């Protein structure tokens, strides 16, 4: 019923506003502690998501992880969700005076070399660690950056999220916006942040290996980057104890061919492999609750790896 749906969305929106207000007036340590505890409670209550996460870890690692290790990773994952969320809702008010000083960076020369060429940077990342803080950090350094994201189901929540990003100086681009807008942004030499680790039919995707299994992976960023001449730089913002660490990997380069489809496949595959390496180092910070291998190829697909 439409009335029920509208009422439920209003209650959710009001609750989100209440949480944001509360977490912004209490000390950060208390906010992070409460949010981590809420994550642990969610771990106990959300059995379906817990089972899905452990199943996906089995898909990815097989018997390299014991059942006990998988349970610990998933339990820590839920707690990390909470910790990261606490800082995300505090970014608008507390980033400059509190959170920015907690961020360390590893591999910044990789990013600077790519950026200085002036052809734009496709910042390849995923739903690992605190990706909202990752964007805020680069904007605070003076880089003009945009994030591609899908509009939320509630326009009020979407305006809230976009408003928080824009207050920090980040440009928000909807997945439904014209590719020309994203292409121009790159051609002007700016940074385009892309979360490319989800399985979705909402955007153009192809199947590439991820953790040894064919995974339906977005390719819009690959097409834009190859067409514009932008650099592909994998990176992520992960928790490091009570601090954060931004991990920046070397630029991804492929040998271009006369087959554009092949180039799109190869750059998408290599970007996926780079993200896989980061996830492998920080297993309890990636969204194993997402069904990364939901869609399966209906027929054989080209393999350009040779």
Rounded to 5 degrees, what are φ and ψ at 63?
-85, 10
Alpha carbons 77 and 197: distance in angstroms, whole number = 17
Q: Name the DSSP class of 145.
A: E
Q: Give dist(CA 36, CA 178) in Å, integer.
A: 39
276 assigned to some structural domain: yes
Return the ∠ at Cα 42 (arms to 99 and 235), rounded to 5°.
Answer: 40
299 within some domain: no
- On average, the pLDDT of the chain sits at 90
Find the mean pLDDT for residues 55-78: 96
Tokens of 252: 């991804």
Residue 80 lies in a domain: yes
Task: Tell the residue number behind the tokens 């009020």, with chain if given.
Answer: 156
What does the pLDDT look like over 8-58, one tens digit per residue? 777 777 887 888 889 999 999 999 999 999 999 999 999 999 999 999 999
Q: Are the CB atoms for 177 and 110 separated by under 8 Å?
A: no
pLDDT of 146-200, one tens digit each? 987 766 666 777 777 777 777 888 888 877 778 888 999 999 999 999 999 988 7
pLDDT at 306: 47
**Is residue 298 domain-resident?**
no
**CB-based contact 260:266 (threshold 8 Å):** no
Question: Phi first, then psi: what are they for 231, rounded to 5°?
Answer: -90, 150
> E-strand spans in the chain?
103-106, 121-125, 145-149, 171-174, 191-195, 205-210, 213-218, 231-240, 243-248
Q: Which of 24, 130, 142, 26 lies closest to 80, judged by CA?
A: 130
Separation of first and last alpha carbons in the chain: 54
* 266 inside domain: yes
265-282 b/e with 16+ CB inside 10 Å = b? bbbbbbbbebbbebbeeb
Number of domains in the chain: 1
Burial of 227 (C-beta count, 10 Å sphere; 0-12/13-18/19+)? middle
Calculate the CA 222 to chain-centre distance.
Answer: 16
Q: Are 243 and 305 in contact (CB under 8 A)?
A: no
* pLDDT interval class at 275 (50, 70, 90): very high
Phi, psi of 263 (to 5 degrees): -65, -40
103-106 and 171-174 as β-strands: parallel, antiparallel, unpaired? unpaired
- Per-residue confidence band for 305, with pLDDT thresholds at 50, 70 and 90: low
Q: Nearest 5°: CA angle at 272, between 267 and 273? A: 100
Task: Domain of residue 161: give its range.
Answer: 2-285
Residue by residue, DSSP assigns 172-224 as EEETTS-HHHHHHHHHTT-EEEEE-----SSS-EEEEEETTEEEEEE-HHHHH
Average of pLDDT values for 205-223?
A: 94
pLDDT by residue (tens digit) across 148-159?
776 666 677 777
Residue 64 lies in a domain: yes
- Report residue 112 as tokens: 């600077």
The answer to whether 186 touches 122, Cβ cutoff 8 Å, is yes
């Amino acid at each position: 019923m439409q009335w029920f749906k509208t009422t439920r969305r209003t209650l959710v929106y009001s609750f989100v506003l209440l949480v944001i207000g509360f977490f912004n007036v209490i000390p950060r340590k208390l906010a992070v502690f409460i949010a981590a505890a809420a994550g642990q409670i969610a771990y106990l209550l959300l059995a379906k998501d817990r089972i899905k996460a452990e199943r996906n870890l089995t898909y990815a690692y097989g018997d390299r992880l014991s059942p006990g290790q998988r349970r610990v990773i998933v339990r820590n994952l839920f707690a990390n969700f909470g910790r990261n969320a606490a800082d995300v809702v505090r970014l608008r008010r507390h980033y400059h005076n509190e959170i920015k000083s907690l961020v360390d960076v590893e591999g910044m020369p990789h990013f600077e070399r790519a950026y200085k060429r002036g052809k734009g940077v496709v910042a390849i990342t995923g739903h690992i660690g605190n990706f909202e803080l990752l964007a805020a950090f680069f904007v605070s350094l003076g880089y003009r950056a945009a994030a591609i994201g899908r509009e939320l189901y509630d326009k009020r929540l979407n305006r809230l999220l976009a408003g928080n990003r824009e207050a920090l100086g980040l440009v928000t681009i909807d997945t439904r916006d014209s590719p020309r807008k994203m292409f121009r942004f790159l051609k002007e030499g700016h940074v385009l942040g892309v979360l490319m680790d989800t399985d979705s039919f909402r955007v153009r995707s192809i199947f590439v290996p991820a953790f040894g299994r064919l995974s339906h992976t977005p390719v819009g960023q690959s097409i834009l980057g190859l067409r514009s001449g932008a650099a592909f730089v994998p990176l992520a913002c992960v928790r490091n104890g009570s601090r954060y660490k931004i991990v920046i990997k070397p630029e991804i380069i492929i040998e271009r061919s006369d087959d554009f489809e092949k180039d799109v496949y190869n750059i998408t595959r290599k970007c996926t492999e780079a993200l896989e390496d980061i996830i492998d180092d920080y297993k309890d910070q990636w969204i194993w609750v997402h069904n990364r291998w939901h869609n399966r190829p209906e027929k054989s697909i080209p393999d350009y790896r040779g």
